[in-house]
Amino acid sequence: MFIGAIGCEPLQLARVQLERSESLETYQKHGGYESLRKVLDGMSPDDVIGELKKSALRGRGGAGFPTGMKWSFVPKDSPKPKYVVCNADESEPGTFKDRYIMERDPHMLIEGMLIAAYALGSKTCYIYTRGEYRYIIEIMDRAIAEARAAGLVGEKILGKDFACEVYTHSGAGAYICGEETALLNSLEGLRGHPRMKPPFPAVAGLYGCPTVVNNVETLTAVPDIIRMGGEAYQKLGTEKSGGTKLWSVSGHVNRPGVYELPMGYADMEKFIMEDCQGIPNGRKLKAVIPGGSSVYIMPASDIEGKNVTMDYEGLVAAGSMVGSGGFIVMDDTVDIFESTKNLTEFYKHESCGWCTPCREGTDWLVKVFKRIARGEGKPDDAQLLLDLCDNIEGKSFCPLGDAASWPIQSAIKKFPEDFRRHLAPLAGGNGHKSLSTL
C-alpha cells in the first residue's frame, strides 16, 4: 500500500508516515495549529473566507463546489447558532482517503474545522463518521481530548476570545447519509432521508440553523491554505481547481494506495502505468472508474495516448468526473456487465426509499440484470436498462438516483460487447438490436 505524493510536495499526506503521527505532540512539532494561531492573531473571518476563495479549493466530496463561496453563503447577521459539520461518512465504493487522514493525522481535521468555525462564527463542530469507522471515532475522540487539554478546543482557545467545541457522531452505515441533508437528519436523530432544497444548509441546516457541511479532505486542506496563502495554494493546481487532490487507488494495479497529486496532473495513463506501477501479471488495461462508483466508466481507449488531466475540467472533457477520487482500475479479465451488475445491487440496497424513481427504479434495474445473468434476458433488455436509467436520472429526490444510473449508461455505451456477450445467445447469435446501434 503506497501512501504519498507524486508530482508535488505532500501537504495533506506530509505527516502520515511519521511515528505517532496521530498525536498532538507530533502534529505541533511539524507546524500543527500554527495556522489557527495565525488566524486568531490577526485575521478577520472575511480574511479567512477571502483566502479560501483565492485558493480555488473545491469541495473534495464529489460535487466540487467552490469552498470559499459555500462558506460565504452563511448569513453573518443570523441570530441563530451556526454549525460546522464534517462529512466523514465516506461511503462511496472505491474511496478510502478520508479514513487515512483521520487515522493518521486527526489534528489536521480538528484544526481545519476550528478555522472554519472562526470564519463562520460557529461555536460547535460535529464530525459525522460512518458506523463502520468505530476505531476511527476512538482516534478522533482521543485527539479532541488532547486538543481540549492543550487549550485548543473549548473556551479561550489559544488564550483568545474564541470558543468552540468539537464532537464526533456515528452513523449506522447508510450510503445515503453521505448526502449532506440526509447526514443532517441523521445527526438530529431522524431517519437518514434527504431534505428538499432550497433552503440550503448554509441558511437552514442542522436544527434549522446556518450550517456548512464539508468532507474530511476539504477541511484538512484549510490549514495549508492559511499557512501558505490562497494564491500560492491555487498555483499548485489549475486556475479553476487549486491545490492538490487525494486519490484512493484500488483494483488491478501493482501499487494501490492513497496518492496526493497536484490538480491537473498529466496524464492519467502515466499515473496508472508509471506511478501505480502498471497492471499486474502483464494484463492490459480495460477500464477505469476515476471518481468512485457513481461516475462514468472510462475505457482504455479514452485514456491511452489521450493525455487526460486529472482535475475537474480534464476528466469532464474525457467523459467522466473527479467525484470522490475513488480511482478503480480494471484489467482485461473484468466483465463490465458483471461489475456494473454488482454496483447496481449496491445502489438498490442503499436507496433510502424516500422517492419513487430511486426506490422502484433501482429495484427494477437489479431485476433486469439478474434476469440477464440467469440466461433469461429478453431481446430488448439493454434498451430497457437505458430506459429505466432515463426514468431515474434527474428525477429522484437526491443524487443517489443519478449515481445508480450513470455507471449503467456509460457501461452499455462504452462496453457494448460485454453486454452483447450475455444477450447475443438470446438472439440466435446475431447480435442485439439495442446494442448494435451504440
DSSP 312-331: HHHHHHTTS--TT-EEEEEE
Residue limits of CATH 3.40.50.11540 in the chain: 11-231
Start-end of CATH 1.20.1440.230 domains in the chain = 336-436
Class of domain 11-231 as given by CATH? alpha beta
* pLDDT tens figures, 139-195: 999 999 999 999 999 999 999 999 999 999 999 889 999 999 999 999 999 999 999
User: Who's near 292: CB < 8 A, 6+ residues apart?
Assistant: 62, 92, 93, 94, 95, 323, 324, 325, 326, 328
Cα–Cα distance for residue pair 62/267, rounded to 1 Å: 21
pLDDT digits (tens, 9 = 90+) for 44-78: 999 999 999 999 999 998 788 999 999 999 999 99
- Among residues of the chain, what percentage have pLDDT more than 90? 90
pLDDT for 64: 86
CA 313, 314, 315, 318 dihedral sign is positive
Q: Provide CATH code, domain 336-436.
A: 1.20.1440.230
- Assess contact for 117 and 81: CB atoms under 8 A: no
Kindly report the pTM of this predicted structure: 0.93
Neighbour tally for 436: CB within 10 Å: 12
Distances (CA, A) of 129 to 15, 63, 171, 173, 311: 22, 19, 6, 9, 27
Strand partners, 331: 285
Q: Is the pLDDT of residue 430 over 50?
A: no
- The region of weakest confidence among 47-51, 68-72, 198-202, 374-378 is 374-378
Average pLDDT over residues 327-346: 97
The DSSP result for 237-266, as a single string, is: S-SSS-SEEEEEEEES-SS-EEEEEETTEE
DSSP bridge partners of 290: 292
- Whether the pLDDT of residue 348 is over 90: the answer is yes
SS (H, E, C) 113-140: HHHHHHHHCCCEEEEEECHHHHHHHHHH
Task: Please give the class, per CATH, of domain 244-331.
Answer: alpha beta
Task: Please give the pLDDT value at position 438.
Answer: 46
| pLDDT tens column, 253-299 | 999 999 999 999 989 999 999 999 999 999 999 999 999 998 999 99
Coil, strand or helix: which one is 402? Answer: helix
Burial of 401: CB neighbours in 10 Å, binned 0-12, 13-18, 19+: buried
CB 320 within 8 A of CB 290: yes
